[in-house]
Chains A and B, each alone.
Chain A
Amino acid sequence: MRSLSIVLLLVLWEALARSGKVTPFMLPPFSAVVGRIYTDAVAGQLWLNLGLTLYRALAGFFLAAGGGIVLGAAMSRVKPLRWFFDPIISVGFPMPKIAFLPIVMLWLGVYDVAKITMVVFDAIFPVVTATAAGLAAVDRELIWSARNMGAREGELMWQVALPAALPQILTGLQVALPIALIVEIVVEMAMGGYGLGGAMMNASRFADSRGVFAGIVEIAIVGYALVRTMALIRGRLLAWHHEAEHR
């Protein structure tokens, strides 16, 4: 039932493309696009591009996740750090960081380091804010009782505060992941080179509309798979949490 409307959409696409109302340049038939993806897969081009895009997007995402959680936790514990970073984070979060892309290109060039840096720069903000807000909202009584029972400060962080803040931290990560993908695709388009976004841009330059649509379908599948995986991981990690009962 759920896949019915998706099938319907694809049938409509195919029918519209074959009806002659639009040129194959504007909208190549879905079957031709699938054929193109298949050819690229057999030739190995698809796997190279897919691998590089995933590598850079995920490397950036994990760096942003690690760095963001550490910074958020540090901000919640160390007052001077909070004073210093709080305005920077709250002003930087709503800024379109993508505008800094030419500056990053100027400093770091157009290869992996520059691309991953852009991804981290964009994806780290939601993680920091979610971690800091999550830790700030942890029940005081939970902390007090743990301290009463003799928990040391390190244990308090790892065994009490961070697990209690986990739902919010995961929400921050769930915001950061799609951002990482959006940015990775843009930087590939702007900086060139291999990758799904880079391949799409090349196809677009050569007016190869099948290549462009193949890129959209591939990127849509990657985005869908990653976002679903993240939701599954959330369910696993929070199996103990009362949020799981509402499913």
Chain B
Amino acid sequence: MKRALIRYLPLVILALAWEGAAQLNLVSSLALPSLSHVAAAWIDLVRDGELLDNGLISIYRGVAGLVLAVIVGGGLGIAMASSRALDALLKPLVELFYPLPKSALIPVTVLWLGLGNGSKILLIFLGCMIPVTIGAYNGARGGDHALIWSARSMGAGRLRMLWDVLLPSALPELLNGVRTALALSFILLVSSELISAQRGFGYLIGYLGDTGAYAGMFAVVLTVAFLGFAADRLYQMLIQWLLRWRE
């Protein structure tokens, strides 16, 4: 407890410095509303349901896009690792799209699906798929060949091989790819909602900023930042639990 306190003390100092600078009018309250004002604005936003309404939409978009990316990307990576033809056909495409700054897809998804949920889910799906594919591919290829051979010689069928041998050996790298995808999904979600949306966290941030409700804007920004942090920490715990058989 004490150690955690010492460890996270710098964050407390930052928060106090923020509050102090705002209270003493070192900076204009228009540029930096005090932390207590931001907290009050946050409570207001929670009370009138605005934060939750927009937040649930955002979470729905993020989860849907990410789940699709993990299923399709993971399947694609494992398929590429186990079939030479698919590998030859798809690897150059994966290499081509991997360095594409995914945010460039925002206007296209809007062109195709408009301003609603569909365009955000498609964007997150497309953007997050590649890191998952690469993770699954590297993991499945790096799998222990002796393991694969012995399973085969013991008469394991194709599906059993996939489930009992290939997937577990691909899992560590696959899960790492998903972690990259998780971070990317937050970036793409917030960007696309800031740029073109009528609901969601990003929309709410932009709306509050445009109407001059800066305390509220800071409150939503901090909420999103905290969610991104919390999602990553929870995911790391999940990884540790999933890979507990490794040690």
Contact = CB atoms under 8 A, between A and B. Distances in A.
B209 A106 contact: yes
Contact of A6 (B96, B187, B226): B96
B145 interface: no
A100 B218 CA distance: 8
Q: How large is the interface on B (under 10, 10 to 19, 20 to 34, 35 or more residues)?
A: 35 or more
A162 B209 CA distance: 43
Contact of B221 (A87, A103, A183, A197): A103
B55 to A, nearest CB: 13
Contacts of B42: none
Contact of A26 (B96, B111, B233): B111
Contacts of B232: 94
A159 interface: no
Contact of B99 (A178, A185, A190): A178
Interface string B78-112: 00000000001111110011111111111110111
Contacts of B93: 5-6, 9
B132 interface: no
A96 B217 contact: no
Interface in B36-72: none
Interface string A184-208: 1110011000001100110110010
B14 interface: yes
Contact of B187 (A2, A96, A102): A96
Contacts, number: 152
Most chain A CB inside 10 Å of its own CB: which residue of B97, B103, B112: B103
A98 B100 contact: no
B206 interface: yes
A215 interface: yes
A215 B104 contact: yes
A204 B111 contact: yes
B92 A96 contact: no
A219 B206 contact: no
A99 B111 contact: no
B198 interface: no
A240 interface: no
Interface residues of A, number: 59
A44 to B, nearest CB: 22
Given A103-B218, A106-B31, A209-B111, A3 B92 contact: yes
Contacts of A42: none
B10 A186 contact: no
B46 to A, nearest CB: 18
A33 to B, nearest CB: 12
B108 A213 contact: yes
A149 interface: no
B229 A87 contact: no
A102 B90 contact: no
11 contacts: A6-B92, A87-B7, A88-B10, A99-B224, A102-B205, A102-B209, A102-B221, A178-B99, A178-B101, A204-B111, A216-B105
